[in-house]
Structure 1
Amino acid sequence: MKITFLGTGVAIPQKGRVQSGLLMEIDEKKVLFDCGGGVLNRIFESGNSHTDINTIVLSHLHLDHVADVMCLLKANWLCDKFDSTIYGPSGTREWLDRLMDIYPYMKEKVSVDVVEVAPEEEFRLIDVCDVKCAAGIHSVPSLAYQVRSEDKTVVYSGDTEPCDDIMALAQGCDMLIHECSFPLEFEMTNHTTPDMLRPYIRNSGIRAVYLTHLYPHMQGYEEEALEYLKEEFEGEVHIPSDLMVVEI
């Protein structure tokens, strides 16, 4: 499996980080997880082709995770690619239908199959991997995804506080991609800080944790966050930059 971190930032602009998105390549098939503002250009900058992406998986419907979905669909149409599949939580179909109503010409140009999935649901994705969902703790319905292909397992948290359901998916996984929006001791709900996350990854058997969805508030506190987590976590801990590629 190859993971390309396309966007590791949030809705507030900051240098070097666009909004949320990552690309998983499994047996030469590519799946896009979230597609916030700036992600379409990051796909190009990463050396990938947007027309190779048939499948988009959305954690939730906040703008910094979906703003470039319509842009991607239009770019594909302009390059003679018309079919796509979007997986997402309850409400995804209504959200896309309303967008298509605003841009009616798109209805005539593209064919999008929307599959709504629910917490604890399992499904087969692109015929090469199995996916299981868990509910996050966020201000809107949000899903985390466990992706399993052969002997490799990756968990993507979406936006959430650390919670038992997501960590159950992550036990013993090769890679946990978990949001860490704010620095140590920052009082926050619906998102994660290092001190909120550390008790959950302790003794988890997770091989590596990658912290993403960083607010500008985290600038200057990255090393502090890494060192704090490493004090009680035996695996690797990283803060990826946009366009970082990791193979497992």
Structure 2
Amino acid sequence: MKIETQPFLIYNEHIMKKIIQHTLFLLSFLSLYTSVNAATNNISNQRHCAHIKLQILGEGGPEINDGLASSSYLVWINNKARVLVDAGGGSSFNFEKSAANFNDLQAILLSHLHVDHSAEIPVYLKAGYFSGRKNNLPLFGPAQGGNFPSTEAFINALISDRQSSAYPYLADNLYQQASTDFLIIPQSIHAEKKPWQKKITDDLLIKAINVNHGSIPALAWRVESKQCSITFSGDMNGSSGNLQKLAKNTNILVAHNAIAQQAFSVAKELHMTPLMIGKIAQQAKVKKLVLSHFMLRSINKKQETKAFIRKSYSGEIIEAQALMMIEL
């Protein structure tokens, strides 16, 4: 008895084609839905965080032949410069160019006490004398360690009324006297394992954690406003794992790119390699990565640096430039 199988096979092939077509359609729809949903969430997040912005005042290091101001950043909240992070050489000139108002500052945050991060503190204090500022200004930085003083001792060495201080004529900014309108209030922070935090105002929260910068006491900082955040690595080698904790889900991570991947071991004790930057950004699920603190050994290797970062991190990468304003 002969059995006809051909129509049956054709029928099955027809069904399989339909199934494949429907499956491909569903996969395309799901992919489109995921993309649209992600884009919608991103737009929603941008709108939610539209009130806070990052501005670069200095994207360089300690060199004086790179054409860059040293490390310094402003955090703008509701169109006011509310937080100054680091105060490297040249930053005050860009502060003026930015049209920021010294009276609006509610905190100064120092990552560490190297000159390319702190040298212009006296400049800001002297300028503040002419600003008409009335409110005291808190200044936070690292605790004592190794050959470095605490932040309080550092400020006292700069502007106390002792004959041995660098600028005793600025001592009014430390002691309540009739001739001064505001005081600088220094405070040292030590947060070895868990972030320290302080609420400055209802819409401004600052956090800090210790990071490894060789033997130099150093802090990474996070500035938050209404669940939107900007995190600053400062100078560090990434070995402690603390930056990942502080920067978790941050909108922007400012990472210091002072060395190339093939740097000498001594430099790697002080600074993150590009591979380490990418790894940290990926682990912390950073939304935007801003590279800064360029030095001659890294500034001409930006494409190579990004290639190493891309081995781990797929988000947006921005190269810092003086006076650049970056939205979240």
Superposed pair shares fold, TM > 0.5:
yes
Residues 208 and 222 in structure 2, CA contact (< 8 A), matched pair in contact too: yes
In the alignment, does 2:219 pair up with 1:219? no
Q: Which residue of the partner structure matches residue 94 of structure 1?
A: 153
TM-score by length of 1: 0.93
Q: For 2:254, which of 169, 177, 184 is the aligned residue?
A: 177
Q: Following the alignment from structure 1 to structure 2, what is the Cα–Cα distance between the partners of residues 176 and 154?
A: 6
1:247 alignment partner in structure 2: 327
Q: Residues of 2 paired with 1:199 and 1:80: CA distance? A: 45
Which letter maps to 2:138? T
Structure 1 residues 156 and 14, CA, compared in 2 at 3 Å: closer, same or farther? same
Q: Which amino acid aligns with 1:106?
A: L
**Secondary structure of 1:225 counterpart:** helix
Cα drift, residue 196 of structure 1? 2.7
C-alpha separation in 2, matches of 1:31 and 1:141 = 21
Q: Distance in 1 between matches of 2:301 and 2:282?
A: 21
Structure of greater relative contact order (alpha carbons < 8 Å, 6+ residues apart): 1
Quote the RMSD (CA, aligned, Å). 1.8
Closer/same/farther in 2, CA of residues 51 and 122 from structure 1, 3 Å limit = closer
**Which of 62, 74, 88 lines up with 2:126 in the alignment?**
74
1:166 counterpart = 2:243 = yes
Q: Which residue does 1:26 correspond to in 2?
A: 77
5+ residue gaps, structure 2: 1-51, 144-149, 160-164, 173-179
Higher strand share: 1
Q: Which residue of 1 aligns with 2:98?
A: 46
Does structure 1 conserve the Cα–Cα contact (< 8 Å) formed by 2:207 and 2:221? yes
Q: How far has the Cα of 1:32 moved from its partner?
A: 0.2
- State the structure with more CA Rg: 2
SS in 2 for 1:37: coil
SS in structure 2 of the partner of residue 183 of structure 1: coil
Q: Say whether the 8 Å CA contact 1:153–1:174 is kept in structure 2.
A: yes
Does 1:106 pair with 2:170?
A: yes
Q: Secondary structure at 1:142's aligned position in 2?
A: strand
Deviates more, 1:148-157 or 1:80-89: 80-89
The runs of at least 4 consecutive aligned structure 1 residues that moved more than 4 Å come to: none
The Cα of 1:200 is off from its aligned counterpart by 2.5
Q: Distance in 2 between matches of 1:145 and 1:219?
A: 24
Q: Say if 1:16 and 1:241, in contact at 8 Å, map to a contact too.
A: no
Q: Residue 9 in 1 paired to residue 66 in 2?
A: no
**Alignment CA distance shift 1:112-1:231 (3 Å):** same
Partners of 1:227 and 1:47 lie apart in 2 by 36
Q: In the alignment, is the contact (CA less than 8 A) between 2:91 and 2:120 conserved in 1?
A: yes
- Partner AA of 2:166 in structure 1: I
Per-residue Cα deviation, 1:207-232 (whole angstroms, up to 9, x for no partner):
11111111111132112111321233
Q: Is the 8 A contact 2:59 2:68 kept in 1?
A: yes
Whole-angstrom CA distance in 2 between matches of 1:193 and 1:130: 29
Contact preservation (8 Å) 2:244, 2:283: no
| Structure in which a larger fraction of residues adopt helix | 2
Of 217, 221, 233 in structure 2, the residue corresponding to residue 157 of structure 1 is: 233
Aligned to 2:309: 229
Aligned to 1:58: 110
Note the C-alpha offset of 1:54: 4.0
SS at match of 2:217: coil
Residues 44 and 50 in structure 1, CA contact (< 8 A), matched pair in contact too: no
What's the TM-score once normalised by structure 2's chain length? 0.71
CA deviation string 1:78-98 (max 9, x = no partner): 333364221112100111011
Q: Is the 8 A contact 2:63 2:295 kept in 1?
A: yes
1:210 to 2:290 alignment: yes
* Other-structure match for 1:141: 217
Percent pairwise identity? 25
Q: In the alignment, residue 135 of structure 1 is paired with which amino acid?
A: N
Deviation at residue 29 of structure 1 after TM alignment: 5.0
Unaligned runs of 5+ in 1: none
